[in-house]
């Protein structure tokens, strides 16, 4: 009975060791986990796509520039809604906004290396296509 328990204990320990090893090797890097924990989208971008300091600074600058353009699109959409313009007009303005955002993301992807840029577009583009301009954000964003 004692020998059986020792054997069972060693097998369970092996299972636990294997689990821990594969879990540690397969999870996100410490930088990604830290960015996720902080809810910092830009830090996540930096660590997820392995951006250099130069790439990161360039992308941040592009985001700041796009922020102005986006605010103009948003103001147009809100004005159209407040003025009670037709749904088609609001949809057209939203399409302009989405198109501008998609173009901005393509430019951001071009700053990254080829494989990371392609991965970035694969992750981001579907979210832009499905974007709801009236959706309340559910996550805290730290810029």
Partner 1 sequence: MSKNDHDKSLSTLLSDWQVSPTTETHFRHEVWNRIGQRQKESAWPGYLRSHAATAVSLAIFATILGGVTGYSQARDQAQERREAMATAYVKSIDMSAQMAQR
What is the gyration radius of the CA atoms in the chain, in angstroms? 23
State the nearest-atom distance from the C-beta of 131 to partner 1, in Å: 7
Cα–Cα distance between 39 and 106 in angstroms, integer? 24
Q: Does 15 bind partner 1 (CB under 8 A)?
A: yes
DSSP string for residues in 69-113? HHHHHHHHHHHHHHTT--HHHHHHHHHHHHHHHHHHHHHHHHHS-
Q: Per CB under 8 A, does 103 bind partner 1?
A: no
Interacting residue ranges for partner 1, rule: CB under 8 A: 2-4, 6-7, 10-12, 14-28, 32-33, 35-36, 39, 41-42, 44-45, 48, 63, 66-67, 70-71, 73-74, 77-78, 97, 101, 104, 123-124, 127-128, 131, 133-137, 139, 141, 143
């Amino acid at each position: 009975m004692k020998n059986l328990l020792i054997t069972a204990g060693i097998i369970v320990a092996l299972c636990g060791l294997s689990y821990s090893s594969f879990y540690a090797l397969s999870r996100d890097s410490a930088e990604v986990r830290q960015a996720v924990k902080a809810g910092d989208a830009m830090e996540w971008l930096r660590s997820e796509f392995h951006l250099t300091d130069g790439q990161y600074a360039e992308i941040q600058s592009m985001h700041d520039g796009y922020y102005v353009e986006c605010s103009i699109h948003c103001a147009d959409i809100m004005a159209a809604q407040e003025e009670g313009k037709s749904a088609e007009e609001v949809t057209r303005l939203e399409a302009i906004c989405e198109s501008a955002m998609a173009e901005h993301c393509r430019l951001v992807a071009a700053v990254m290396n080829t494989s990371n840029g392609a991965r970035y577009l694969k992750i981001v583009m579907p979210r832009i296509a499905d974007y709801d301009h009236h959706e309340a954000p559910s996550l805290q964003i730290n810029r």
